Amino acid sequence: MFYYKRKSWTPERLRAYLTTVPQDRLVLLDYFCEKTEVWRATDGFYGQPFIWCYLGNFGGNTMLVGNINELEKKLNAALKEAGPNMTGIGSTLESFDVSPQIYEYLFDRAWESQPDVHQWVEDWCKVRTRSYHHTDKWKLLIDSVYKDWSFYGLGTQLVARPSLEGHGTYYTKPYYSYNNDTLKKICESFVATLIFEPCQGYVGTNWEGEYKDSYKYDIVNLFSQWMGNHFMDIRNDFTVAYKNRDIKEMKRQVKIANQLFADVDALLNTHPAFMLGPWIEDARAWGTTPEEKDYYERQARTLLTVWGGPVLNDYANRMWGGLVGDYYAKRWNLFFKAVIKAVKEGKEFDEKAFGEELSKFEHAWTLKHTKYPVEPRKAKEKVTRGEYVLPRFEKAWTIYKRWMEE
């Protein structure tokens, strides 16, 4: 509040407001310190206790963000310079299950003064998966992919409201500063470890349960991000074909897009952290009557999509299995169909008119009661071309083989 409305909260007003409260009778949250440390602009909140907070996530957006290297620098400086009224380290995240490593690092700092980031990542990997074999991958991720801070409105082009150029709405910026080819190579190394080399100690009696699950989480998280980023190239190629009035090429790009939609949705549904089904069922569980259950489901669907009005449309966008296949993919196909129809009729595509029609689809989706899987589908171990494939990862293997050749 003090930063967002800083024109109104002048230093004089803020000092008067905070010093009116007896000392130590309130605790302030410095809400978004990775972006702006308000304590620095207010003489440490004029002596009142405050908690240094890392936000890290808006709306549950499933993007690869969170710069541990920069977080280390900021925390070291705050711990050295803020003084005794910095009474704690906290987080004001808007959703769980996104970029868990940075929150673990953040709260380790409450107990350990200045851990070396790379050593911390190595130790974290060993504890998390009982494996020494992917620490180098995570160090590369930290240094080359997890470079950006979170901010409101992040989302891949896939989850953005369809448009020929740009990203449709304010709250779906498909921004990332890393090279997507670098992420692709890291995905290859993760999948190779899981699928090609189990006999070398990566898979066994001491690498099961939560440890194997953590590794699977990483693969789904990283690979789906790469695919979501890659969709921007497909959309851009479709737009070029539209400008050239090349219907054959437009249809070819639509076919590629639909293969990607299906594959992303299937991949996400291999891990419960990326599935729409549990979200819907958990919401319905709050109701005690059919009417109440339907009400809570409608709110759960609305939160992820239209939020309640056009201003915050897609604010809580997420790459989740079920949401991709039943919502984002259908939006894009409505768009593709409308654009191709315009070209066939010799007209310019009317994006404004289409947006009005799309709003009807979005609202109607919030009123549906479609059932989605609540658990990853069960699968048997099998051998494919001489390579062992872990249970439940045949689908990921098939998708990997298809898209790593792109």
Query: What pLDDT does 393 receive?
Result: 54
Q: CB of 127 within 8 A of CB of 101?
A: no
Three-state helix/strand/coil letters over 284-310: HCCCCCHHHHHHHHHHHHHHHCCCCCH
Q: CB of 181 within 8 A of CB of 164?
A: no
pLDDT digits (tens, 9 = 90+) for 85-100: 999 999 999 988 889 8
For residue 199, pLDDT over 70 is answered with no
Domain boundary assignment for the chain: 11-145, 180-403
Q: How many CB atoms lie within 10 A of CB 45?
A: 23
Q: CB of 53 within 8 A of CB of 29?
A: yes
Whole-angstrom distance, CA of residue 260 vs CA of residue 3: 41
Query: What pLDDT does 5 receive?
Result: 79
Whole-angstrom distance, CA of residue 29 vs CA of residue 39: 10
Long-range contacts of 122-128 (CB under 8 A, 24+ apart): 128/211, 128/214
Whole-angstrom distance, CA of residue 82 vs CA of residue 80: 6
Query: What pLDDT does 378 receive?
Result: 61
Q: CB of 306 within 8 A of CB of 255?
A: no
Q: Supply the DSSP symbol for 150.
A: P
* Sheet strands side by side (includes 50-54): 28-30, 50-54, 86-91
For residue 390, pLDDT over 80 is answered with no
For residue 163, pLDDT over 90 is answered with yes
Q: CB of 203 within 8 A of CB of 390?
A: yes
CATH tag, 11-145? 3.20.20.80
| C-alpha 126, offset from chain centre | 24
State the virtual CA torsion across 51, 144, 232, 189 in degrees, nearest 10: -120
Please tell me which residue, 173 or 336, carries the higher pLDDT value: 336
Tokens coding 404? 């790593």
Please tell me which residue, 279 or 198, carries the higher pLDDT value: 279
**Mean pLDDT estimate for the chain:** 87
Tokens coding 385? 């071309």
Mean pLDDT for the stretch of residues 265-283: 95
Buried b (16+ CB within 10 A) or exposed e, 143-175: bebbbbbbbebbbbbbbbbbbbeebbbebbbbe
pLDDT digits (tens, 9 = 90+) for 219-249: 899 999 999 999 999 999 999 999 999 999 9
Q: CB of 258 within 8 A of CB of 333?
A: yes
| Percent of the chain surpassing pLDDT 90 | 64
CATH architecture for segment(s) 180-403: Up-down Bundle (1.20)
For residue 37, pLDDT over 50 is answered with yes
Whole-angstrom distance, CA of residue 326 vs CA of residue 268: 13
